[in-house]
Amino acid sequence: MQKQQLSFKYELEKKVPRLAPGGITRGASVNDFPASVGLAGVSMRLQPGGMRELHWHANAAEWGYVLTGSMRNTLVHPDGTSYIDNFEPGDVWYFPRGYGHALEATGNTECHFILIFDNGNFSEDHTFSVTDFIAHTPKEIVAQNLGLTLEEVALLPTKEAYFALGANPDDSAAIAQPRTYPALTSTHRYPLHAQAPRVIPGAGKQRLVSQNEFPISKTITGSLLELEPGALREMHWHPNADEWQYYISGSAEMTVFLAEATAVTEQFSAGDVGYVPMGAGHYIKNIGTEVCRILIGFNSGNYESIDLSEWLAANPDDVLITNFGIPAEVVKKLPGRKLFIAPATS
């Protein structure tokens, strides 16, 4: 019997969503996307005034990136310290595993954001919502805990809300005032899109946020990669992390090399998710006519990459001549430095 080939592509935005008044969500764990053993992801949309209720994740940290709209997040630390931050497109957050938080859309348009979790087995089975907790605790205990009467406890939800829809938060409130530079970065907020990108002229650019730039983000590094038409994020691998990709716009091709003459090539469009196991060689090429934008998460707070051009350039010519069995004049044509992103060929 022929072994079934593992796919490194998942059409996330085509998945049947979970929806309720206030929001809509689509998620992909290893159960939906078997290749994705080290990371999981969610595409979530909140209506104006919509809230992903107070909750926590028992088995994963959460890294978020805002695509469109605006939102306000609240968070509590185990030491009792609380945080309230506002987010716009291009902003990132990170919540450690088990920290209680809520996500709420602000403004007059839908807020769309991507969540990345540092555990492929992340699922709603390991998400604990405050309404579900209260609804399944004896009413007398809830009354004693919250200082309410039994009649008042009866007004609380009798099952998990998950999403809630309320009044749009007042942007004039003191806690909603936008920060000014240099206080754009807070403990749990990093303005990734405000970062000056690494630019490869005529080929593309990258913005990267690891724990070096965002100290709280100890288990996830995020990257926003833009490839010009025909450009190639060169052949490379990551020795310390798996890679989870969300294709924001454009179209691309990726091959994942798994050793022992095994490689999988697939094509991606906006709304698709890609995955690369730790150490697996791969490339990403823009095969469309518009800029391809990709949000990438790695399950390590430190970013490490080994690019083929840089590796070959570091070796003496005689090593390359022997390794590949090619003449010296061909070796001289190989890149003499790291490309990172190679421009389209004419």
- CA 158, 162, 168: angle at the middle one, nearest 5? 105
CB atoms within 10 A of CB 36: 25
Both structure tokens of 318: 């005689």
Q: Which one has a higher pLDDT value, 241 or 171?
A: 241
Taking the C-alpha atoms of residue 149 and residue 129, their distance in angstroms, rounded to an integer, is 22
Helix (H, G, I), strand (E, B) or coil at 256: strand
pTM listed for this prediction? 0.94
Average pLDDT, rounded, for the chain: 93
Mean pLDDT of all residues in 62-74: 97
- Using the predicted structure, report yes or no on whether residue 178 has a pLDDT greater than 60: no
Taking the C-alpha atoms of residue 193 and residue 208, their distance in angstroms, rounded to an integer, is 10
- Using the predicted structure, report yes or no on whether residue 93 has a pLDDT greater than 90: yes
Residue 183's pLDDT is what?
54
Query: What is the separation, in whole angstroms, between the first and last Cα of the chain?
Result: 44
The dihedral sign for the CA sequence 169, 170, 176, 180: positive
Residue 171's pLDDT is what?
55
Residue 2's pLDDT is what?
43
Residue 4's pLDDT is what?
55
pLDDT in tens, 152-170: 999 999 999 999 999 887 6
- CA 180, 89, 286: angle at the middle one, nearest 5? 135
Ranges 160-174, 176-190, 248-262: which has the least confidence: 176-190
Q: CB neighbours of 145 closer than 8 A, spacing ≥ 6?
A: none
170-178, Cβ contacts within 8 angstroms, sequence gap of 24 or more: 171/106, 171/107, 175/72, 175/84, 176/72, 176/86, 176/106, 178/86
Residue 302's pLDDT is what?
98
pLDDT in tens, 290-325: 999 999 999 999 999 999 999 999 999 999 999 999
Taking the C-alpha atoms of residue 65 and residue 92, their distance in angstroms, rounded to an integer, is 5
Q: Which residues are catalytic?
A: 52, 55, 57, 62, 101, 124
